[in-house]
Chains A and B, each alone.
Chain A
Amino acid sequence: MIEFKNVGLVYPNGTEGLKNVNVKIEDGEFVVIVGLSGAGKSTFIRSINRLVTPTSGELLVDEENILTHKGKNLRALRTKVGMIFQNYNLVRRSNVLKNVLAGRLGHVGTFRSILNLYPKEDVALAYDNLKRVNIADKLYNRADELSGGQQQRVSIARVLTQQPKYILADEPVASLDPPTSHQVMTYLRKINKTDKITTIVNLHFIDMAMEYADRIIGMRAGEVVFDGPVSEVTDATFEEIYGRTIREDDLRGGADQ
């Protein structure tokens, strides 16, 4: 369970990233955060694994306030919370297997990992997860030989290999075309349902949020302006979150493919 209690974040330049955020996310939920760019979606997500550090309030992950975590505690938290990025963030010159195994770094000792002595089960796990996202045939290809959609699938396999309790996805489909976007979202959704991994995704496409989320959190200017199940969301809700009428480019489209 993740709980934001009066969380606020002010960046050193004075920008307020989060303002008095109160949100509770139960285990197993699939939550989509929507909002315009600059609304605080990334700050919200990155607070959970402390890539950014809120300046006020409390943030509880499994009943522990993580805002004071340092060093070993912080690494333990991050091992539990996996992350997927907009630009995949794979090591382009390393092969797919090595990239996926990087997900084990938090579990494997420093010495073993440096010498590439991963336990057999870890390698098997990495391979299984590549099969789950249907890209096992690229095992020994270098990451930069893959297309964007394939790279994002590899990064999903990496996060699965980490065996996290939570997955954070920061605009995972913003660099992909519509059919590939749906493919990636479908994988995330499937993983959420079968593995019961709590998943929090940032999106700015309204139609995708509606299609995949259980629950939608709307943000504007660092504040949570909407929080509720998909069934309660209407076009008017989005107009309120975005503070303007809905436009063509707020939709990804291509849902039928």
Chain B
Amino acid sequence: MDKNVLPPKPKKSAFKKIKIIIITLAVIGIYVWTFLGIDINWARAIERVVNNFGNIVPKLFSPDWSAAGEVGEMILETIFIAFAGTLMASILAVPLGFLAAKNVTNNYIGTLGKWLLSANRSFPELILAILFIVAVGPNAFAGVLAIAIHSTGMLGKLYAEVIESIDMDIVEAMEASGANKVQILFFGVIPQVIPEFLSYAIYRFEIDIRASSVLGIVGAGGIGTMIIFASMNRNWNEMGLILLAIIVVVTIIDMISSRIRRKLV
């Protein structure tokens, strides 16, 4: 019997125990302090929410079908913005990905490349959209550029990680057969990474559909423009239709995308 009993767990030192208690207390303290600091009139907030809900929610659920034509057109523009932006990004990210992959370049250039890609990614789409509206005017092209630049950062980093995870034995085999660097790239590296590159690009398209539906809020084209006008005019029936359209499109594209990606890898 004794053999089946696990040996006792090593005892935690008193110092560790105290540390855990202090951290727990500190976290609780921060939460309490934060919630006490919120200046909110709960009774009034609840009252307003209840009123507006009664007012707005039923309208959201009875969409204004007369706007269907315009909504359809704008949702199509949203998809186009996302597609063009993702396409640009998925191509731009290839050289950047190779640059940032440590097994292709070296440790220093690789780290520098990843650093640049992260910096690039840290601008939210909306900020980029505002910048590009200044540059190219308030139209869909500004949205495309915003999406493209933001996505390049993420795709470049993912591409670099894919390249770093390839089977280097194949590269060694090609080196051993006298192939030069360019040949190794085309015959040993690219066939290994293409399916995953595609898969990530499609996944990014999924994300960009969602991103491009809000770009219109700052005037960079797409369905977002309609959202901002509908809410300013308190036209909740139209808003209902817009939201419905976004939900349907995003769901369909997510489904298609995940099906394609399952086939690819």
Given the complex, which residues of A lie within 8 Å of B178, measured CB to CB?
A: 75-80, 105-107, 162
A91, A92, A98, A105: the one contacting B177 at CB < 8 Å is A105
* Cα-based distance from A91 to B195 in the complex (angstroms): 13
Q: Chain B nearest CB: distance from A98 CB in Å?
A: 8
Minimal Cβ-Cβ distance residue in B for A89: B173
Tell me whether B177 and A89 are in contact (CB under 8 A): no
Tell me whether B177 and A103 are in contact (CB under 8 A): yes
Given the complex, which residues of B lie within 8 Å of A81, measured CB to CB?
A: 176
Given the complex, which residues of B lie within 8 Å of A85, measured CB to CB?
A: 169, 172-173
Tell me whether A94 and B177 are in contact (CB under 8 A): no
Given the complex, which residues of A lie within 8 Å of B187, measured CB to CB?
A: 91, 94, 98, 102, 105, 113
* Interface size band for A: 20 to 34
Instruction: Count chain B CB atoms within 10 A of each CB in A80, A90, A91 and give the residue with the most.
Output: A91
Question: A51-B176, A75-B180, A105-B178 are known contacts. Are A93 and B195 too (CB-CB below 8 A)?
Answer: yes
Given the complex, which residues of A lie within 8 Å of B192, measured CB to CB?
A: 91-93
Given the complex, which residues of A lie within 8 Å of B170, measured CB to CB?
A: 89-91
* Cα-based distance from A159 to B176 in the complex (angstroms): 10
* Cα-based distance from A245 to B36 in the complex (angstroms): 78
Tell me whether A82 and B177 are in contact (CB under 8 A): yes
Question: A78-B178, A79-B178 are known contacts. Are A113 and B183 too (CB-CB below 8 A)?
Answer: yes
B191 beta carbon closer than 8 Å to chain A:
yes
Given the complex, which residues of A lie within 8 Å of B195, measured CB to CB?
A: 93
Minimal Cβ-Cβ distance residue in A for B194: A93
B31 beta carbon closer than 8 Å to chain A:
no
Q: Using CB atoms and an 8 Å cutoff, list the residues of chain B in contact with chain A.
A: 167, 169-170, 172-180, 182-183, 186-188, 191-192, 194-195
**Can you give 21 A-B contacts (C-beta < 8 A)?**
A77-B178, A78-B178, A79-B177, A82-B177, A83-B176, A87-B169, A89-B167, A89-B169, A91-B187, A93-B191, A93-B192, A94-B187, A94-B191, A102-B179, A102-B188, A106-B178, A106-B179, A110-B180, A113-B183, A113-B186, A113-B187
CB-CB nearest 10 A-B residue pairs:
A106-B178, A79-B178, A105-B179, A89-B173, A78-B178, A83-B176, A75-B178, A89-B169, A105-B183, A114-B186
